[in-house]
């Protein structure tokens, strides 16, 4: 059983989320059970079923939470006046999010039998807003749908490589090096 304090009335959902995130970080999303999450949260085996029909529902809630956190992070990062800089900043924010929220990140991009979440579209819409700004400035070399998918895939690929232990771009690299790695990925072929 975990070393957490028992939940207080009204915070069962948060206690289960935190417990599941710890278990996912330690063992992976496929290797834990609702029973383990309940034990980790210090609640009865039946308690998770007050909020979730099963493990897939809990994973769906964690994915939704992760996409909301990601959208907030991207929105804050993409505030630069120059849309090309906003795209670069959003890419760096995506990588930082993936490192800081590894358990969320693992759950967000694998459906494990659950329905896709609308929250994922919200995060994608933030990036779409940056792409729209680039198009309005006459800076896109490809149609916006292609630019959106290519930018997302490039940064996501870097994040997945990092999670697999490959050195790509890390936070202790100088900002200039991180920019030099991301700029060609995000602008190469996308921007004029």
Per-residue pLDDT tens digits for 47-90: 999 889 999 899 999 999 999 999 999 999 999 999 999 999 99
Instruction: Judge contact between 6 and 42, C-beta under 8 A.
Output: yes
pLDDT for 101 equals: 96
Domain CATH code at residue 34:
1.10.10
Model confidence over 113-152: pLDDT tens digits?
666 667 788 889 999 999 999 999 999 988 999 999 989 9
> pTM of the entire structure?
0.84
pLDDT for 180 equals: 73
Domain CATH code at residue 87:
1.10.357.10
β-pair partners for 43: none
Model confidence over 152-183: pLDDT tens digits?
998 999 899 888 877 776 666 777 777 777 77
Residue 192 lies in a domain: no
Instruction: Please tell me whether residues 60 and 45 are part of one structural domain.
Output: no
Residue 155 lies in a domain: yes
pLDDT for 111 equals: 72
Confidence band (pLDDT; 50, 70, 90) for 188? low
pLDDT for 3 equals: 46
For tokens 């090096």, the residue is 177
Model confidence over 19-51: pLDDT tens digits?
999 999 999 998 989 999 999 999 999 999 988
Confidence band (pLDDT; 50, 70, 90) for 2? very low
* Residues spanned by the domain of 183: 56-187
Instruction: Please tell me whether residues 45 and 91 are part of one structural domain.
Output: no
Residue 5 lies in a domain: no
């Amino acid at each position: 059983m975990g070393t957490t304090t028992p939940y207080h009335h009204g915070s069962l959902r948060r206690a289960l989320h935190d417990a599941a995130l710890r278990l996912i970080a330690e063992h992976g999303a496929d290797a834990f059970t609702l029973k383990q999450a309940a034990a980790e949260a210090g609640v009865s085996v039946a308690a998770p079923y007050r909020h979730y029909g099963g493990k897939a529902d809990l994973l769906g809630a964690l994915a939704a939470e992760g996409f909301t956190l990601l959208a907030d992070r991207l929105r804050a990062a993409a505030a630069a006046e120059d849309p090309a800089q906003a795209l670069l900043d959003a890419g760096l924010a995506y990588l930082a999010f993936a490192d800081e929220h590894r358990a969320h990140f693992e759950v967000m991009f694998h459906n494990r039998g659950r329905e896709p979440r609308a929250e994922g579209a919200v995060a994608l819409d933030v990036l779409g807003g940056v792409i729209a700004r680039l198009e309005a400035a006459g800076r896109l070399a490809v149609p916006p749908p292609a630019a959106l998918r290519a930018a997302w895939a490039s940064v996501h690929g870097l994040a997945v490589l990092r999670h697999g232990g490959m050195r790509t771009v890390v936070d202790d690299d100088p900002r200039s090096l991180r920019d030099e790695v991301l700029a060609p990925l995000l602008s190469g072929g996308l921007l004029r």
